[in-house]
Amino acid sequence: MGSQETINESQDAGLQLVNTKLPVVVYSTPKVASVAVAQQIADVLRAASAAEKNAVLALAPGSTPQQVYRELIRMHKEEGLDFSHVSAFVSVEFYGISRDQVQSVYRSLRETFFNHVNIPDSQVNILDSEADGETIEEYCEAFEQQIQDAGGIDFALLGIGSNGHIAANEPFSGVSSRTRLCVLDPITRLRLASDFIGEKNVPAQALTMGMGTLLESRQVVLMALGEHKSRIVRDLAEGDITNRIPASALQEHVNAMVCLDPASASEMQEVVMPWTSDSVQWDETMITRTMVWLCEQTGKALSKLEDDDFRNHNLHQLLRLHGPSHVLALKVFGWLQATIHDGQVVEGQQKVICFSPHPDDDVISMGGTLIRLNEEGHETHVAYMTSGNIAVFDHDAQRIADLVTEYNHLFGIENDKSIDVERRVRESLSTKEPGEPDIDAVLKIKGLIRWSEAKAGAIEVGCDEENLHFLDLPFYRTGTIEKRPVGDVDKAIIVSLLQRIQPDIIYVAGDLSDPHGTHRVCAEVILGAIHQMLNNGEAVPDVLLYRGAWHEYAIHEIDITVPLSPAHLMKKRKAIFMHESQKDETLFPGSDPREFWQRAEDRNKGTAKKFNDLGLPEFLAIEAFQRWTGQTL
């Protein structure tokens, strides 16, 4: 049921949505969306070259356009795309930080894009994070004049913040505003906390190109990727123009469009209610999706729906083709009932591997299922794909360094090396700038903390210590938020583990919430390894996908549900508690103030309630999974 996609993955040209207030195109994957945007930029460059003039680009920093820049670099190196006649203006820069700081837009875009194409340095214009505060207005006016002298912006590539900002034009920015120094919104600063290793380190101000500056661009493409952008994208494209959502001003632009992936488009009306379109394929997934929606609208269980409920909600076609109401209710009830594994989680005696992107994802996301698998006697392995070492507070690393030194002293163990390590750790942490990468010794200690917590959590849910595998994939080993591209060596590690264990089933984090996050990257590595093994004629396991701490699959997307008893839920909570460095307060909390165990329990109880509201058997909590049948994540 869950593997079918509303947006056809073969439509690389994208699907243009209807009933939106500016053009919105949804592409099958983030990569396809990025390639499409890169092609538009390439077209602008080629048209300018043919007209023997410069192409003037306004470019955005951040994670969203990174794949666009990688594709442009590829086109430059492999297809000869020429950037020598490009004038580039970067739309935003943090104010008050050094250009050498890892979070500076200047450093980031030079390292990820400008240094890899043939744009002359004199034609790269990035706002100066260290501009003199006393003459900042004159500096901003001069930057505006540079844009005008270049001929105005031909193409602006923009992202959107969760509060609707574009560049650093925060809510209530004027549509005629120009390049200026502005104060960052608290929501923006919270979102940036992970980049700066703590909200307190995020600059309070930024230099930004103004709304008026950007709206004068001859062509504008706004990109949004990931589930966390879905609500603001819906408000931008389907709501009214309002200064509460600065990006909504693009509705009045004569040549603006929005490019999305399926996750960021998930709240759009045409996606939420696809049956409103002219051509509906009433398959099992679509019928289930529609019936669940109808139950939510009417407040009724499946068995209580009447024919008039369908008519009152414009579902005449579904009723005519597949009704009457009681027949539809029985069908959907049967389909959903079949997902519930309240007997055995899996039949027989199986080998399973849970792939955990971070050291705590296993117990947070499917801890109850791991408990039940171990209770049933299955050979249950957990593979921890990354160390998670950047998500540990400095004071925890210092505490462990002190502890080891005192431990050695107490038991008369040779102590010179541990004293030296403690000294280096203390000196490094006391002099470290905000967001500066840790030295190797600190990273090792932080990784050791996560290792010990992961082991304790897995043992709590019943796993044997010898079935725990700490892979420490190379792509993650940067010591910063920014990771390396996935390489063949990452995939080879996964292939080796699968060949050695030969599992019957593997569980993979299938998150769409962040297309550049570790969960998605880990999923791509695993599924790439599966494809490689298939191409080599090797046997591969069944793949089940689970979601992370923040989101759960919608009812129509679920293929398997695992009910949890009160005892299972309490044991799962205890396993999460073993991750003490992530308890009470985490380094990267996001916008959700709840602790991980609370998020997990609320999610599991919420899924159970949805099933109960539909008239299905009542459970305290449910963990949900989707079968992977080759679909693109």
Q: And the tokens for 547?
A: 């979601």
Please give the single-letter amino acid code of residue 112.
T
With beta carbons less than 8 A apart as the criterion, state whether 392 and 581 touch: yes
109 burial type by CB count under 10 A (0-12 exposed, 13-18 middle, 19+ buried) = buried
Q: Is the peptide bond before 65 cis (omega within 30 degrees of 0)?
A: no
Please give the single-letter amino acid code of residue 94.
F
DSSP designation for 614: T
Annotated active-site residue in 52, 78, 111, 170: 170
Query: Radius of gyration (Cα) for the chain, nearest Å?
Result: 26
CA dist., res. 248 & res. 172, Å (int):
11
The distance between the two most distant Cα atoms of the chain, rounded to a whole number of Å, is: 83
Chain centroid to Cα 141, Å, comes to 37
With beta carbons less than 8 A apart as the criterion, state whether 34 and 67 touch: yes
CA dist., res. 207 & res. 114, Å (int):
20
With beta carbons less than 8 A apart as the criterion, state whether 469 and 317 touch: no
Provide the terminal-to-terminal Cα distance of the chain, rounded to the nearest Å. 15
If you search the block for the tokens 């500076």, which residue do you land on?
104
CA dist., res. 33 & res. 35, Å (int):
6
Question: Residue 80 CB: number of other CB atoms within 10 A?
Answer: 7
Asked if 170 is an active-site residue, the reply is yes
With beta carbons less than 8 A apart as the criterion, state whether 258 and 222 touch: yes
Rounded alpha-carbon distances, angstroms, from residue 30 to 66, 227, 418, 566: 11, 12, 46, 39
Chain centroid to Cα 231, Å, comes to 14
If you search the block for the tokens 């004071």, which residue do you land on?
395
Neighbouring residues of 135: CB distance < 8 A, sequence distance ≥ 6: none
448 burial type by CB count under 10 A (0-12 exposed, 13-18 middle, 19+ buried) = middle
Where helices occur in 502-633 by DSSP H, the ranges are 518-535, 566-577, 596-613
If you search the block for the tokens 């280096």, which residue do you land on?
424
Q: And the tokens for 624?
A: 């949900």
Asked whether the CA dihedral 350, 351, 356, 360 is positive or negative, the reply is: positive
DSSP designation for 435: T
b/e sequence 238-260, b meaning 16+ C-beta within 10 Å: beebeeebbbbbbbebeebbbbb
Bridge partners of residue 356, in order along the sequence: 384
CA angle 578, 583, 584 (to 5 degrees): 145
25 φ, ψ (degrees, to nearest 5): -120, 130
How many C-alpha atoms does 602 have within 13 Å on its Cβ side? 11
How many C-alpha atoms does 208 have within 13 Å on its Cβ side? 22
Query: Active-site residues: which are they?
Result: 170
